[in-house]
């Protein structure tokens, strides 16, 4: 199992910090096992921590006045959430619930806020992460206009895959597929029909919550034809640090605050 420092290094938000900074964040972090249905925080709760998904799935949502849940996002391994609360008067802008049993890392939000105020590299990483997420949202609005339901599911699957993979690919979805349907703005029955059409059009294999394919080309040729962006998606690393990013030179990087 990866230790907390390795987990932090794989995020775009913190992965470019020098080793001493990462050590400080790791020392303050907690690795927590989670169970399905566990509520991590509620919309407009005072933010105490931000989180990294180690494994499993986490649902971000808001509730309407009649109790209906509007799914903001569903996140899996490597994604960071709760960090934008530092720009929301210290309050969480959504609720978070564990959608599938797994593990998360919790880090005090006060440490992130203090370091952003002192460390230009972290400030830029925060802006980059937010900008890429905004670009992803813009693309999703575009897709709802020009892609059919099956193509949108294919695009969602591509975002979960290793886009550099050259051979067979296996993707694991949450067991509750209604969650994916909500994330894509579809009714469950629409999602089921569209997934069936995607299977017929591309030849992918659907086994319960597991999607298998001989190569990503099966999805790329089908879904990316109705998209203004090129594959691989440039915004795919909104939460995951690229392997060659590395850590910054410890001789020039600012040291973390020992908060």
Q: What is the pLDDT of residue 43?
A: 96
Query: pLDDT-based confidence at 234, cuts 50/70/90?
Result: low
pLDDT in tens, 89-105: 999 999 999 999 999 99
Q: What percentage of the chain has pLDDT greater than the value 90? A: 55
Q: What is the pLDDT of residue 95?
A: 97
Which residue's structure tokens are 């499993």?
56
| CATH 1.10.10.10 placement within the chain | 148-226
User: According to the CATH classification, is domain 148-226 in 1.10.3720.10?
Assistant: no
Q: Is 103 helix (H, G, I), strand (E, B) or coil?
A: strand
pLDDT in tens, 25-47: 999 999 999 999 999 999 999 99
| CATH 2.60.120.10 placement within the chain | 4-138
CATH code linked to domain 4-138: 2.60.120.10
């Amino acid at each position: 199992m990866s230790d907390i420092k390795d987990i932090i290094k794989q995020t775009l938000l913190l992965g470019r910090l020098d080793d001493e900074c990462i050590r400080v964040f790791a020392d303050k972090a907690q690795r927590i096992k989670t169970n399905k249905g566990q509520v991590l925080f509620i919309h407009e709760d005072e933010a105490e921590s931000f989180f990294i998904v180690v494994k499993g799935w986490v649902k971000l949502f808001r509730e309407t006045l009649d109790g209906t849940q509007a799914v903001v996002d569903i996140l899996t391994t490597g994604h960071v959430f709760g960090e934008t609360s530092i720009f929301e008067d210290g309050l969480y802008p959504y609720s978070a619930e564990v959608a599938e049993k797994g593990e998360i890392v919790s880090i005090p939000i006060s440490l992130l806020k203090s370091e952003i105020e002192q460390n230009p590299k972290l400030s830029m990483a925060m802006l980059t992460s937010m900008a890429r997420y905004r670009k992803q949202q813009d693309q999703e609005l575009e897709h709802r206009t020009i892609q059919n339901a099956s193509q949108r599911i294919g695009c969602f699957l591509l975002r979960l895959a290793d886009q550099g993979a050259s051979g067979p690919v296996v993707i694991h979805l949450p067991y509750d597929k209604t969650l994916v349907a909500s994330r894509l703005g579809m009714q469950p029955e629409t999602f089921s029909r569209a997934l069936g059409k995607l299977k017929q059009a591309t030849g992918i294999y659907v086994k319960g919550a597991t999607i298998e394919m001989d190569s990503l080309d099966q999805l790329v040729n089908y879904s990316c034809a109705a998209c203004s962006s090129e594959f691989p998606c440039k915004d795919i690393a909104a939460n995951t640090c690229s392997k060659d990013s590395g850590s910054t030179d410890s001789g020039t990087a600012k040291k973390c605050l020992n908060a």
